[in-house]
Amino acid sequence: MDQITIAIPKGRNLRPSIELFHSIGFDASAAIEDTRRLLFYLSDEKVKFLVIRDTDIPTYVEYGAADIGVSGVDMLLEQGRDLYEPIDLKFGFCRMVLAEPEKLRSEDDPSQWTHIRVATKFPRITENYFSHKGIQVEIIKLYGSIELAPLVGLSERIVDLVSTGRTLKENGLVEVEEIMKVTARLIVNRSSLKTKYERISHIVEGLRRRVNENSKDMGR
């Protein structure tokens, strides 16, 4: 039986990832209790779990350090890596939005924009979004605290992920446009899919069935 390495994300998508893999027989629940450990071996199942940052998972999977991973579609589009993406896992839902200060919004008309400055962690997605609109965009790449940028005059607008919108509101910002909806995706290394085809296909189909079952249960 082929050894399989699975990369799952730290943070809010850790628990749903563990629960999903547990549902097909891979119990990595120890990762919830021991947040400092990065490697978990399931020797009987010949499965190794890596618990790493969401931003790094596409890299680990593309280069074969992991055969399978769980990553947000925002990371996949931003990084543009060569990966097989078989399943929308339908958890980790949030939205990527363009936002600006509430005071600016009252007199602003996005249809008249020709050039804007935007702070974001997602320069590639932001560039593509505005280029399709025919708007020149000056992008300021930040790694955190994006909402601070308009407050200190670094940029008038931001592109960032929101869940409830509470952080925007607390910082005097309002949503202008939704750029995309974001969920977690299953990703697979293309070489692993060929060399470990039977085992990986079995895992993918098991997860697909479980996701479909969960979606039906939620729809009831």
**DSSP string for 108-156:** --GGG-SEEEEEES-HHHHHHHHHHHT-EEEEEE-SS-TTHHHHTTS-S
Over residues 171-180, the mean pLDDT reads: 95
**Among residues 162, 150, 163, which one has the least CA distance to residue 119?**
150
Statement to judge: residues 34 and 72 lie in one domain: yes
Query: What's the pTM?
Result: 0.91
| The predicted structure's pLDDT at residue 76 | 97
Same domain assignment for residues 173 and 190: no
Q: What confidence tens digit (pLDDT) does each residue in 3-16 have? A: 999 999 999 999 99
101 lies in the same domain as 49 = no
Q: How confident is the model over 38-62, as pLDDT tens digits?
A: 999 999 999 999 999 999 999 999 9
137 and 189 share one domain: no
Domain that holds residue 124: 94-181
- Residue 8's nearest CA partner among 184, 212, 160 is 184
SS3 179: strand
Residues 101, 176 within the same domain = yes
CB atoms within 10 A of CB 96: 25
Residues 132 and 160 in one domain: yes
Whether residue 208 is predicted with pLDDT greater than 70 in this model: the reply is: yes
CB 50 within 8 A of CB 29: no
Q: Is the pLDDT of residue 217 over 90?
A: no
Q: Is the pLDDT of residue 185 over 70?
A: yes
Which CATH number do you get for residue 39?
Answer: 3.40.190.10
In the chain, the number of structural domains is 2
pLDDT score of 104 more than 90: no
Confidence of residue 201 (pLDDT cuts 50, 70, 90): very high
Q: Has residue 115 got a pLDDT over 80?
A: yes
